[in-house]
Amino acid sequence: INNKMIYTQNNWLFGQQQYEVPSSGSGIIAGQNDTELLIITNNHVVEDSEELSVTFIDNQSVKAAVKGTDSDLAVIAVQLSDIPEETRKQIKAADLGDSDSLKLGQGVVAIGNALGQGQSVTVGYVSALNKKLTINDVERTLLQVDAAINPGNSGGALLNMNGEVIGINAAKYSDISVEGIGYAIPISQAKDIISDLMTKTTKVAVDENEQ
């Protein structure tokens, strides 16, 4: 997922200035409705977006729009009519697993868009369950893994060895003295939120002249 956002900065000499800032993340195909392909990601991947696009496995890039968000998660939509037939043959909805049945030491695979360089795959193990972590002054209960979670991996799938999504990559602990600590939102916690977000009305951008 590629996001172009507007960053506003207050400068004491020039006043308020705005800049276009590109960012990238990852997503998980959750399903579709009559007209849209629906993709799960982290809220911070699409927050304040001016322009969103999704690049699929065959490097085909298509415009996207935000469908619904909550504090942690977001669902974005791509019009089915915008996806070439050849691309549609190569993609499908992910199978969601049961994160409540995970055990310490269980193998996991993290899929994402590390550093915005395209699809990446890292492997590791579940190193903690129900890990309490405070992010932006809010306590969250997350899965801890030692698979590498890098910038651009946010919103990507954390899979078990059956290829089922058991988490949504969310964050990493970053420090020069620390490695091998990444976090994911457990999918069993997220399922109800995702189902609700998938029913929202897509926020399609409207030209200023049409407002």
Active-site residue, selected from the candidate residues 154, 188, 196, 207 = 154
Active-site residue, selected from the candidate residues 23, 24, 26, 72 = 72
**Catalytic residue flag (residue 175):** no
Active-site residue, selected from the candidate residues 24, 44, 49, 99 = 44
Sheet holding 28-32, edge to edge: 15-24, 2-11, 49-55, 61-69, 73-79, 36-42, 28-32
Supply φ then ψ for residue 151, to 5 degrees. -50, 130
**Catalytic residue flag (residue 195):** no
How, if at all, do strands 61-69 and 15-24 pair?
Answer: unpaired
Start-to-end CA span in the chain (Å): 27
Distance of alpha carbon 79 from alpha carbon 82, whole angstroms: 5
**Catalytic residue flag (residue 24):** no
Catalytic residue positions, numbered: 44, 72, 154
